[in-house]
A and B are shown apart, each in its own frame.
Chain A
Amino acid sequence: MSSFIRLFASVKAAIVLIIIITIASIVGTLIPQGRSPEEYLLRYGQLAPLFQRLQLTKLYSSFWYLALLFLFSLNLIICTLLRLKPKIKRVFRPHLDFKPSELMALKNSQKIIFSVPMEKVYGQLRSILHSYHYQIKEKKGESSLTLLGRKKMSGYFGADVVHLAILLILIGGLTSGLFSFRMDLALHKGEMATIPHSDFAVRLDAFTTEYYPNGQVKDWKSTLTVVEEEKEVLSKTVEVNHPLKYKKYLFYQSAYGWDWDKADLEIVIRSAEAQGQDKIISVKNGEKVTCDPNLEIHVHRFLPDFVLDENKRPFSRSNEPNNPAAFVEVTREGERIFSGWLFARFPDFGQMHPGKDSPLSLELRNFSASEYSVIHVSRDPGTGFIWAGCIFIMLGLALAFYWTPREIRFLLQSEAGRTALLVAGIASKNKEALEKEIEKIISSLRKKK
């Protein structure tokens, strides 16, 4: 067990772990994460199954990546605790038995003789140190006195606070991973949805898209009403960057779309035999209508953004109505007299590519579908840890970099009515500033005698 701890206790282990995690993270940015097996097969060919077996395609939630983060946390805890103990001792129970040789061995130490008794030097030194905001610890010997002046000691714990913050953030991430609840609600206007594991529901009262003068989307806004026990509790217009919060649940404007599957279409039928007698019929995607006693129109498919794939098969590139198209079949007394794609943007397409000897030409004049708003719902108990971690990490960094502890050690020795003062300063950073401060303290001590 102790050798296990020793292995994890070293900063070297931390560095090796950070390097491995860094490399693994880089790999995760080079391989797109969480795509379909087909896409990986297309991208990586024979390597795809190997990548998937090594969990490189969902790397950040893979067993081995989480294991690395776990080892890193363990190392962080052990390293921090091991270094904390001597620090606590140093800060709260400092060593006060400096020997003259020890002090003189320190860098920039100096020795000054005062021709006044030790008690007087001691009193003045104390008051000067107080005026410089030093806290004083002291120990009296027979003919000597040790005095330790210290300030900004909390700076010693800066790195530990940062480490604690990182642990909080990792705990937050773990909590989010295990206990957060997320779902997307696709709501039509007026539709209400109960929120799982809760005692309330939300209703979409309005959904609007705002545009800039140049046609670019400015914002999507959904007016949501929280309904609890059949009472309307609150109402808020949610937009991107402005979610609604209710009882630990957050509701975000996440996406929008149309129900193209149930699109309402308006089709114009022209007959070569009876010119000028156009018929306009309304039909839903997937449905059949009979318009003449013997004419039946069947819409098989509707695609809002028609394109052909490599095998010349039609599919919809997006959910936006960029190139709306409907596949329509017309039969008369059971006999097919028209079948083909109609394009709303290209009404002439049918005339230019007439069906084989079809007596009819069709046009897709209008299309519409009900619009819905997608609301992302989340309840994430990990966020509390994350925000606490964020505050601590900044506090810790401020302490570690800009709250440098200063220690000045004094040894006063009484030598026949005179006093010998040995002084040395200790600071991990910005030593010049401490040297200057010591100079000032000594010079004001000299002036006082």
Chain B
Amino acid sequence: MKESTLFPLTFLFYLLASFFYFSSLFTRKEKLNRTGSGLVIIGFFIHNLALIFRTIESGHAPFTNMYESLSFFAWSTVLAMLIAEKVFRFYRLSAYLMLLVIALMALASSPLMPKEATPLVPALQSYWLWLHVSVTLLGEAFFAVAFIASILYLVASAKENKGQSFSSLSSEKLDSLSYRAVAIGFPLFTLGGLVFGMVWANVAWGRYWAWDPKEVWSLITWFFYALYLHTRIVMGWKGKRSAWIAIIGFLAALFTYFGVNYLLSGLHSYA
């Protein structure tokens, strides 16, 4: 088995899973959700194998170029989705999160993404690569959960205001789901992105902070979620305004992840 066959297979299972999730949304047949869930779990299992094979084939961590990192981000998002699904049993969230996962997988599969594994440049030869990237992307995956939950919250609260019901989960629950995702994502992002990032930068570049665009943007992302927490906990903002901050926060995280690489130049030019 090779990663190049396992990856499309994973993609296939994720596509099938979201087909079932959305079928359930439109037909209101709860059973279809369980099929979707099962397919995601199979896909996730194959994805794990794909990452392991990639590591063996390339001889280094499976997130050193955009293709690998997109695949790993998709993996993290599925992991966060499965955890959220286990806790909340709210399949609508899974359905929309799968859309995000599919977008990531599709981007990774696009012919524009070079897929061959290249040997590691000297700066990336460090075990901090494992810690820094994996923990950061895992944190961002939980931000993705908060992002989808917040969008669903906005839709749900708009419907509830009109007296319609939207889903099995009340808008209030969606709001708290979003908060709980941030409560996991924020410490992970702080640890992986900022703390491990500073430690590694100090080892590799000789300074813990260099105001590199990627560093600044991860700080900006961190600020957005700090705002989310302060407005919520101290000022009692909940609901709409909170949801918007979580949405913008995730967009900032996405910009840190993609935008900085393609639009701004800096030290993080490799990935």
B188 CB to nearest chain A CB (Å): 10
> 1/0 per position for B206-232, CB-CB distance to A under 8 A?
111101010011011001101100110
Of the candidate stretches B14-22, B25-33, B73-81, B120-128, the one touching chain A is: B120-128
Across the interface, do A250 and B195 meet the contact criterion of CB distance under 8 Å?
no
Across the interface, do B230 and A11 meet the contact criterion of CB distance under 8 Å?
yes
Across the interface, do A219 and B125 meet the contact criterion of CB distance under 8 Å?
yes
With a CB–CB cut-off of 8 A, which chain A residues contact B35?
none
Closest-by-CB residue of A relative to B209 is: A173
With a CB–CB cut-off of 8 A, which chain A residues contact B186?
397, 401
Of the candidate stretches B48-56, B92-100, B197-205, the one touching chain A is: B197-205
B216-271 residues with Cβ-Cβ distance < 8 A to A are: 216-217, 219-220, 223-224, 226-227, 230-231, 233-235, 260, 264-265
State which of A14, A29, A60, A250 has its C-beta within 8 Å of the C-beta of B206.
Answer: A250
B1 CB to nearest chain A CB (Å): 25
Across the interface, do B231 and A212 meet the contact criterion of CB distance under 8 Å?
no
State which of A29, A30, A220, A386 has its C-beta within 8 Å of the C-beta of B122.
Answer: A220
Across the interface, do A376 and B206 meet the contact criterion of CB distance under 8 Å?
yes
With a CB–CB cut-off of 8 A, which chain B residues contact A380?
207
Of the candidate stretches A19-27, A44-52, A296-304, the one touching chain B is: A19-27
How long is the Cα–Cα vector from A159 to B211 in the complex, in angstroms? 26
Asked if A240 is at the interface (CB within 8 A of a chain B CB), the reply is yes
Across the interface, do A390 and B216 meet the contact criterion of CB distance under 8 Å?
no
> 1/0 per position for A1-14, CB-CB distance to B under 8 A?
00000000001101
B165 CB to nearest chain A CB (Å): 23
Asked if A115 is at the interface (CB within 8 A of a chain B CB), the reply is no
State which of B121, B190, B211, B231 has its C-beta within 8 Å of the C-beta of A397.
Answer: B190
Across the interface, do A214 and B119 meet the contact criterion of CB distance under 8 Å?
yes
With a CB–CB cut-off of 8 A, which chain A residues contact B208?
176, 383, 386
Closest-by-CB residue of A relative to B265 is: A32
Asked if A28 is at the interface (CB within 8 A of a chain B CB), the reply is yes
Across the interface, do A240 and B190 meet the contact criterion of CB distance under 8 Å?
no
Across the interface, do B220 and A386 meet the contact criterion of CB distance under 8 Å?
no
How long is the Cα–Cα vector from A214 to B120 in the complex, in angstroms? 12
The answer to whether A241 and B121 touch (CB under 8 A), given A22-B224, A29-B264, is no
Asked if B191 is at the interface (CB within 8 A of a chain A CB), the reply is yes
Asked if A294 is at the interface (CB within 8 A of a chain B CB), the reply is no
Across the interface, do A30 and B216 meet the contact criterion of CB distance under 8 Å?
no
State which of B119, B191, B216, B219 has its C-beta within 8 Å of the C-beta of A216.
Answer: B119
State which of B118, B187, B234 has its C-beta within 8 Å of the C-beta of A11.
Answer: B234
Closest-by-CB residue of A relative to B188 is: A397
Across the interface, do A217 and B121 meet the contact criterion of CB distance under 8 Å?
yes
State which of B191, B227, B234 has its C-beta within 8 Å of the C-beta of A18.
Answer: B227
Across the interface, do B220 and A240 meet the contact criterion of CB distance under 8 Å?
no
A-B complex: 7 closest residue pairs judged by Cβ atoms? A240-B122, A252-B206, A29-B213, A397-B187, A241-B126, A212-B119, A390-B195
Q: Other CB < 8 Å A-B pairs besides A11-B235, A15-B230, A15-B235, 14 of them?
A: A11-B230, A15-B227, A29-B216, A29-B260, A29-B264, A176-B207, A216-B119, A218-B119, A219-B125, A242-B203, A376-B206, A378-B206, A378-B207, A401-B183
